[in-house]
């Protein structure tokens, strides 16, 4: 495989662009070309955000069509469902297990997270569910959910990225206690991915 197509999705405010930037920089540190592009709705109000990232040799365009993603990483469960059409038949989907409800009351109604997970499991052979929000909250910063999922993605993509470079860059995000929580969240994500024995692309 000469390239890998990645979709990073979630809602506005979850640090998806930071995730994409760090993965792109780590891929370049490994010697690969990268291109990224984003699409989003009302991101500032918690709307849907999709970031396309391509890593490999001779990358000419940042976006790709449905059914072409080797990996989808989602920081929110409903956005994981929305992202399924992007995924190849043998692709990998790694998702946070938490639903984040929009600010507009009643827009989702009541969502049964277990039913959503069952729906995904019935359709995605390579599905990995991660309680990333719970991990981040246990560390003292719910905003570190993206770092947990970044850790998971770093294991799946380790052929394509310089993991030592990535770990160093993660430790620079924020200052003091925040930086330490981000580092811990990233490392916890890696531990979870290894325990799940994720497919490595």
pLDDT tens sequence across 110-152: 788 999 999 999 999 999 999 999 999 999 999 999 999 999 9
> Does 44 score more than 70 pLDDT?
no
CB–CB of 161/155 below 8 Å? Answer: no
Q: Report DSSP letters for 76-144, one per residue.
A: SHHHHHHHGGGEEEEEEEEEES-----SSTTSS----HHHHHHHHHHH-TEEEEE-HHHHHHHHT-GGG
- pLDDT at position 182 over 70: yes
Number of Cβ within 10 Å of residue 44's Cβ equals 9
Enter the tokens of residue 148.
């947990």
**Token match 């924020």: residue?**
174
Cα torsion through 154, 156, 162, 167, rounded to 10: 20
**Could you tell me the pTM of the whole model?**
0.94
Q: Which domains does the chain have, with CATH numbers?
A: 3-196 (3.40.920.10)
Mean pLDDT (the chain, rounded) = 92
* DSSP bridge partners of 197: none
* pLDDT of 40 strictly over 70: no
- What HEC string does 43-77 produce? HHHCCEEEEEEEEECCCCCCCCCCCCEEEEEECCH
Q: Give the least confident one: 41-45, 89-93, 129-133, 189-193.
A: 41-45
Q: What is the pLDDT of residue 47?
A: 78
Q: Find tokens 């000469």 and name the residue.
A: 2
């Amino acid at each position: 495989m000469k390239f890998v197509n990645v979709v990073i999705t979630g809602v506005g405010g979850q640090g998806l662009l930071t995730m994409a930037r760090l993965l792109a920089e780590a891929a370049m540190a490994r010697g690969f070309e990268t291109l990224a592009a984003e699409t989003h709705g009302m991101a500032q109000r918690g709307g849907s955000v999709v970031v396309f990232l391509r890593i490999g040799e001779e990358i000419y365009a940042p976006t790709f069509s449905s059914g072409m993603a080797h990996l989808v990483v989602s920081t929110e469960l409903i956005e994981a469902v929305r992202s399924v059409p992007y995924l190849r038949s043998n692709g990998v989907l790694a998702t946070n297990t938490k639903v984040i409800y929009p600010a507009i009351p009643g827009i989702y109604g009541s969502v049964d997270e277990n039913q959503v997970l069952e729906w995904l499991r019935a359709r995605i052979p390579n599905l990995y569910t991660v309680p990333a929000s719970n991990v981040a909250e246990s560390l003292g910063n719910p905003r570190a959910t993206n770092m947990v999922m970044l850790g998971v993605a770093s294991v799946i993509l380790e052929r394509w990225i310089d993991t030592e470079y990535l770990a160093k860059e993660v430790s620079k995000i924020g200052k003091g206690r925040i930086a330490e929580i981000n580092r811990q969240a990233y490392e916890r994500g890696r531990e979870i991915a290894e325990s799940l024995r994720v497919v490595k692309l």
